[in-house]
Amino acid sequence: MADNILITMVSDQTVPNIVFVKEAIDKFGCNKFVFVTTKEMKEKNKTKNIQKVCNLSDESLQVLVVESDDFNDNLKKLNSLDIRNSDKIYANLTTGTKIMSLALFEFAKNYVKSENLYYFTFGKDTFVNILSGATYRVENKITIQEYLDAYGVNISNKDKLQNKKECAEKRKELTYQIWNLFNNNPSEIKENAEKIRTYFNSSKVKGKEKKINIEELKTNASYFINKLNLNFDNETKKRLKHWIEYLTGGWFEELIYFKTKEFLEIENNEYIQIGMEIEHGGKNELDVAVCYNNNLYYLECKTGLGEKERDVLTGTFYKLSHLKDNENFGLGMTNALISLDDKVLYDKKGELQAKYKDSVRYYRLKFFGWKDIKEKGLENIIKEIFNKGE
């Protein structure tokens, strides 16, 4: 029986390969696969990561290791493939080096059934047959888990993510109440959140005692208790800590989570996560992560950015820049800071400082402060981040 064989090149950018492999299986019935790769990519486990996410068996996969800059080596090894005359091949020319692409093109165009040469522009929802001009819509959407698996990124708190979402859902009404209070009087919310934060960071709680006194907490949190009709009397120490984290800023993360989920009409929770902790070149917590149209978006949500610009640079900007590293998380990652800050990000004229404007161009980092939220609205900011409707 003839096989439908997909030949594709492996590079640091694994997600385009994963998407195309899934499309080739669904649209063309591909059942055999040849990964043209290099020693470096194999050692980085790029080939294995693609195989894992696409759930390909060892029997269906052949790995061809070539010299990335040697055309003759590439062509010689491609010609050594055991392909029968009845087999039909599909070639993905998207990734790999230019030399690798040229060699695969040269091999495929001389094959008797090689009318299927494809190019996939990552970030678009289509791919094209470069010979016939036929365009195909990308139907497969990868999840956050699949995107991170593609780059070998580990989620360290995977077992807690569902609980985080359930807790957020239970507090959804409170979250929107706080948002309404903030819109009416931002300084009042910030001042009362700071009271709780100061108490929690005091020597009584963080020092030798390491104990939250319920009466002292109720005094410092009296504003929120009265406005939101909260009752802390029967809460455990663990639950009290969760409430402190929520009232001092966690509510804003949950608000952005809900606003994003609603605006993008995400029904499957596998495409959006809140409070995800990852390990890859260090540990990081992602406030809100979204996989949308096979691109990964990370939204850092801050009610405040500290008193000095230095706090922004060390605590937020460098974190966002590190997470945008193309090799670690791919070209399809966009990071954004959404903050209720009304001073640190802006110059004396009230404009976003030039260095943060430039970061959009150089790092694909986007910054939005309270001034932007007031002028544009959260929905339009989310629309801008995801380039939706443009």
* Distance in angstroms (rounded) separating the CA atoms of residues 170 and 177: 13
Looking at the domain assignment, is residue 323 inside a domain?
Answer: yes
* Distance in angstroms (rounded) separating the CA atoms of residues 210 and 252: 27
Calculate the dihedral angle through the C-alpha atoms of 62, 122, 38, 42, rounding to the nearest 10 degrees.
-70
Q: Examine the pLDDT at 207 and tell me if it is beyond 90.
A: no
* Distance in angstroms (rounded) separating the CA atoms of residues 298 and 57: 32
User: Would strands 32-37 and 4-9 be described as parallel, antiparallel, or unpaired?
Assistant: parallel
Let me know: does 172 contact 261? Beta carbons within 8 Å. no
**Residue 8 shares a structural domain with residue 136:** yes
Looking at the domain assignment, is residue 209 inside a domain?
Answer: no
* Distance in angstroms (rounded) separating the CA atoms of residues 69 and 99: 6
> Is the pLDDT higher at 123 or at 226?
226
**What percent of the chain shows pLDDT beyond 90?**
60
Structure tokens at 226: 């009265």
Whole-number pLDDT of residue 284: 83
Whole-number pLDDT of residue 125: 87
* Distance in angstroms (rounded) separating the CA atoms of residues 131 and 110: 13
Whole-number pLDDT of residue 384: 92
Across 107-117, average pLDDT: 76
Q: Examine the pLDDT at 326 and tell me if it is beyond 60.
A: no
> Is the pLDDT higher at 273 or at 1?
273
Neighbours of 59 (CB within 10 A): 7
Looking at the domain assignment, is residue 238 inside a domain?
Answer: no
Confidence of residue 308 (pLDDT cuts 50, 70, 90): low
The pLDDT mean for the chain works out to 87
Confidence of residue 25 (pLDDT cuts 50, 70, 90): very high
Looking at the domain assignment, is residue 349 inside a domain?
Answer: yes
Whole-number pLDDT of residue 312: 55
Looking at the domain assignment, is residue 9 inside a domain?
Answer: yes
Q: Examine the pLDDT at 198 and tell me if it is beyond 80.
A: yes
Q: Examine the pLDDT at 325 and tell me if it is beyond 70.
A: no
Of how many residues is the chain composed?
390
Whole-number pLDDT of residue 37: 96
pTM of the model: 0.90
Across 58-70, average pLDDT: 95
Looking at the domain assignment, is residue 321 inside a domain?
Answer: yes
Q: What is the pLDDT of residues 343-383, one digit of tens each?
A: 777 777 777 777 777 666 666 678 888 988 999 999 999 99
Structure tokens at 96: 């790999």
Q: Total structural domains in the chain?
A: 2
Across 158-181, average pLDDT: 95
Residue where a domain terminates, one of 93, 120, 140: 140
Looking at the domain assignment, is residue 212 inside a domain?
Answer: no
Residue 62: what residue type? Q
> Is the pLDDT higher at 314 or at 270?
270
Q: What is the pLDDT of residues 71-89, one digit of tens each?
A: 999 999 999 998 877 788 9
Whole-number pLDDT of residue 321: 63
Looking at the domain assignment, is residue 226 inside a domain?
Answer: no
Whole-number pLDDT of residue 69: 93
Assign residue 62 the CATH number of its domain: 3.40.50.10770
Confidence of residue 390 (pLDDT cuts 50, 70, 90): very low
Whole-number pLDDT of residue 304: 78
Radius of gyration of the chain from its Cα atoms, rounded to whole angstroms: 25
Q: What is the pLDDT of residues 242-292, one digit of tens each?
A: 999 999 999 999 999 999 999 999 988 899 999 999 987 778 888 999 999
Q: Of the ranges 66-70, 170-174, 277-281, 375-379, which one carries the lowest mean pLDDT score?
A: 277-281
Residues 6 or more apart whose CB falls under 8 angstroms from that of 268 comprise: 143
Whole-number pLDDT of residue 57: 96
Q: Domain of 266?
A: 251-386
Assign residue 277 the CATH number of its domain: 3.40.1350.10
Q: What is the pLDDT of residues 119-157, one digit of tens each?
A: 988 777 899 999 889 999 999 999 999 999 999 999 999
Residue where a domain terminates, one of 124, 140, 156: 140
Q: Of the ranges 108-122, 137-151, 165-179, which one carries the lowest mean pLDDT score?
A: 108-122
Residue where a domain terminates, one of 140, 163, 192: 140
Q: Examine the pLDDT at 114 and tell me if it is beyond 70.
A: no
